[in-house]
Amino acid sequence: MTIKKSNRDARYIIRLFPELERLESLDIRQKVIEAWFRALERSHWEDIESVPFVPNYPELRQIEHTQAATLGSIKLAEVIREIHGIKVNMDFVIAGANLHDIGKLIEYGKTEKTYVGQLLRHPFIGAHLALEVGLPPEIAHIIAAHSVEGETSGWRRSIEAIIVHAGDFCSARTFALAKTGKTTAQLLQEAGER
């Protein structure tokens, strides 16, 4: 089932991302779904399944990366909780991982970066969307800090942001290398990263 961007059907988002049913907070779940609809409406894409991980590599779809990063982050969070006895907010991990790359819908057009994407990478676009739909700042923080921006000196990632960063990079790096023989740094450079 795919939908045209004008058709807002929450079941479409849940079918793509069944992990969202594990969110305890229905309020967070509804806002996550709303963020996907808004991103899709503002993008060049008709459906989420067509969005690539980076332009020019349609075989690397964003959807599988998001699913792997979310499931990986959930498993990591369980280990950290059970083995280290560290308190982890699982709703923040699930929502933050699911939305960590939502900004890519707007960052990239079909073949290259959009103007907005050149000015604001996907972590900024995604964090803005999260706050705009009323998600807690802890979730916007995970999105904003998941990538290289999170290494900025003086900016400390939360426990949940450290977990999602690890889940994200593990999926991105293995999947890019196995399918293209290239590192994510090479792919991003080709996609117009500065």
Which residues sit at the interface with Fe ion, rule CB under 5 A? 101, 168
For residue 54, with 0-12 CB atoms within 10 Å meaning exposed, 13-18 middle and 19 or more buried, which class applies? buried
Note whether 93 and 163 are within 8 A (CB). yes
Q: Which is nearer to Fe ion, 10 or 63 (CB)?
A: 63
Which amino acid is it at 152?
T
Q: Which is nearer to Fe ion, 6 or 152 (CB)?
A: 152
Q: Which is nearer to Fe ion, 30 or 190 (CB)?
A: 190
Nearest distance in Å: CB 26, Fe ion = 26
Nearest distance in Å: CB 1, Fe ion = 24
Nearest distance in Å: CB 66, Fe ion = 7
Q: Which is nearer to Fe ion, 34 or 101 (CB)?
A: 101
Nearest distance in Å: CB 168, Fe ion = 4
Q: Which is nearer to Fe ion, 37 or 175 (CB)?
A: 175
Nearest distance in Å: CB 146, Fe ion = 7
Q: Quick one: tokens of 20?
A: 């969202």
Those residues whose C-beta lies under 8 Å from the C-beta of residue 80, and which sit 6 or more positions away, are 86, 88, 159, 163
Those residues whose C-beta lies under 8 Å from the C-beta of residue 146, and which sit 6 or more positions away, are 96, 100, 101, 123, 161, 164, 165, 168
